[in-house]
């Protein structure tokens, strides 16, 4: 996929993800968005596990925002559509749409910002060989 394209992640709502309102607890959308952006990386050719293990680079979460439209419920099929909003050697932003896979209803939309960090949470630059993944141009 090109770095503008949307990558889809499918999952089914787990019983453990509900709360006593009989809907998915709002906090449980964040791991879904995380799955979405890691799948986005994979679709662009990068296993996040390798980025962490081989390159010692991690994608720390700097900001999260979510708008909840319609609640997800136990056993629903969910699609998380993830796309890149912006990328710099130190920062990336992703956008997410979370839909019911059967009805197409928009359940939630979100955005996250991330900084690259080295182990110990020290800010780092993305290694140049990954620039292409995120569509970052090298400086002349």
Site string for a copy of itself, 25-64 (x = CB under 8 A): xxxx-xx--xx--x--------xxx--------x-xxxxx
Task: Please answer whether residues 77 and 10 qualify as being in contact, where contact means their C-beta atoms are separated by less than 8 angstroms.
Answer: yes
User: Is residue 87 at the binding interface for a copy of itself, with CB under 8 A as the rule?
Assistant: no
- With left for phi above 0 and alpha for psi between -120 and 50, is residue 112 left, alpha or beta? beta
Residue 82 Cα to chain centre, angstroms: 6
123 or 137: whose CB is closer to a copy of itself?
123
Alpha helices per DSSP H over 18-125 = 29-43, 48-55
User: Is residue 105 at the binding interface for a copy of itself, with CB under 8 A as the rule?
Assistant: no
Q: Dihedral through CA 130, CA 38, CA 30, CA 94, nearest 10?
A: 40
Asked about 55 being catalytic, the answer comes back as no
34 or 134: whose CB is closer to a copy of itself?
34
Binding site for a copy of itself (CB under 8 A): 14-23, 25-28, 30-31, 34-35, 38, 47-49, 58, 60-68, 71, 74-75, 121
């Amino acid at each position: 996929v090109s770095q503008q394209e949307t990558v889809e992640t499918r999952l089914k709502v787990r019983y453990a993800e509900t709360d006593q309102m009989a809907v998915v607890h709002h906090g449980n959308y964040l791991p879904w968005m995380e799955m979405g952006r890691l799948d986005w990386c994979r679709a662009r050719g990068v296993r996040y596990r390798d980025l962490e293990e081989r390159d010692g680079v991690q994608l720390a979460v700097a900001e999260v925002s979510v708008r909840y439209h319609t609640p997800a419920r136990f056993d629903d099929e969910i699609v998380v559509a993830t796309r890149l909003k912006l990328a710099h050697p130190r920062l990336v932003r992703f956008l997410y749409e979370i839909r019911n896979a059967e009805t197409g209803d928009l359940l939630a939309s979100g955005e996250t910002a991330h900084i690259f960090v080295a182990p110990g949470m020290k800010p780092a630059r993305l290694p140049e060989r990954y620039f292409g993944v995120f569509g970052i141009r090298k400086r002349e």
